[in-house]
Amino acid sequence: MISFENVSKRYPDGTYAVKNFDLHIKEGEFLVLIGPSGSGKTTTLKMINRLIPISDGTIKIQDKKISEYDIHELRWEIGYVLQQIALFPHMTIEENIAVVPEMKKWESGKIDKRIDELLEMVGLEPKTYRKRKPSELSGGQQQRIGVARALAANPAIILMDEPFSALDPISREKLQDDLLELQTKINKTIVFVTHDMKEALKLGERICVMKDGEVVQTGTPNEILYQPVNDFVREFVGIEQTLAAERVNVMEGIKPLNAGGTMNAPVISSGASLTEILALLSEHDQLAVKEKGTIVGIIDRQAVISLLSRQMEVR
């Protein structure tokens, strides 16, 4: 879907914001770029829709160089959600959402239907919110409108640049949960920038860890957590703190039994060690949990990662 081939961004003074970046993002994948400030993650994101020009290398979307796309059409086909939200303050919510569809000359009835569909999709009642101005909404509600606007013309790719970092912790966690649920319905290719490892572990199907403009490690949350390639990744993730606890309470992440869902799943006890759980999850998608001799539910990789993320936050 999106491929980076030896991509660099070099400034006139010779410094590199991004250097020799190689990555392939699959269609429908949720890819998180993470790293400390100045690591090049936002620059990498902005090169995809040509907000920042490439110095060297090639970026392709669907095997076509981004330089070969008309720049306006390229940006219309890529949704973009910013930390600053950047809704037009003088426009109503419906007018904000309609901006790109109107540029693409959609007919009014189709736009009207799309606005209602998107507001419902992000959990806001159309009759209540269509005519409001951004100033009448909370930060979390404004960011929901930002997501709706990015989805308005049904783009295949969504770029998200630290979209939840300015929100309070409760609103942030709620929007993370809602985004994960939304992705199961819309199946977009999402490239998400954050500096928060807990957020990266929760959201990403794959995580690309960056430092000084270069890729340090790319892998699944499980690989980043438990197979860090060097001390930088290990310290950035905080893995030593996490492993110090040695156990997770699997009952907090347990899911109900479903028909046939545990037929071939290995069985663990509710008091299993973290080492045992991770060893089994490296080979199996889910585990059946037994308590007092009875299988009471299942636990999967995402649930364990979520539990560990919360544990990291507490520490």
What is the SS3 string spanning 250-273?
HHHCCECCCCCCCCCCCEEECCCC
- Report how far residue 48's alpha carbon sits from residue 93's, in angstroms, rounded to the nearest whole number: 27
**Alpha-carbon distances of 82 from 20, 32, 46, 57, 253, rounded to whole Å:** 26, 15, 11, 26, 31
Sequence-distant (≥ 6) Cβ neighbours of residue 277 within 8 angstroms: 248, 250, 268, 287, 299, 304
Strand partners, 191: 31, 159
**Alpha-carbon distances of 309 from 161, 200, 287, 304, rounded to whole Å:** 21, 9, 19, 9
Summarize pLDDT for 125-148 with one digit per residue, the tens. Answer: 999 999 999 999 999 999 999 999
Task: List phi, psi (to 5°) of 214.
Answer: -125, 155
**Res 162 pLDDT > 80:** yes
Mean pLDDT of the chain: 88
Contact between 67 and 48 (Cβ < 8 Å): no
Task: List phi, psi (to 5°) of 283.
Answer: -120, -15
pTM above threshold 0.75: yes
Summarize pLDDT for 178-235 with one digit per residue, the tens. Answer: 999 899 999 999 999 999 988 998 899 999 999 999 999 999 988 888 889 999 998 8
Phi/psi region, residue 279 (left: phi>0; alpha: psi -120 to 50; beta: rest), is: alpha
- Report how far residue 300's alpha carbon sits from residue 280's, in angstroms, rounded to the nearest whole number: 10
Beta strands at 2-10 and 16-25: parallel, antiparallel or unpaired: antiparallel
**Res 67 pLDDT > 50:** yes
Task: List phi, psi (to 5°) of 229.
Answer: -80, -20
Q: What domains can be seen in the chain, in order of their start residue? A: 2-237 (3.40.50.300), 241-314 (3.90.1280.20)
Task: List phi, psi (to 5°) of 230.
Answer: -160, 180
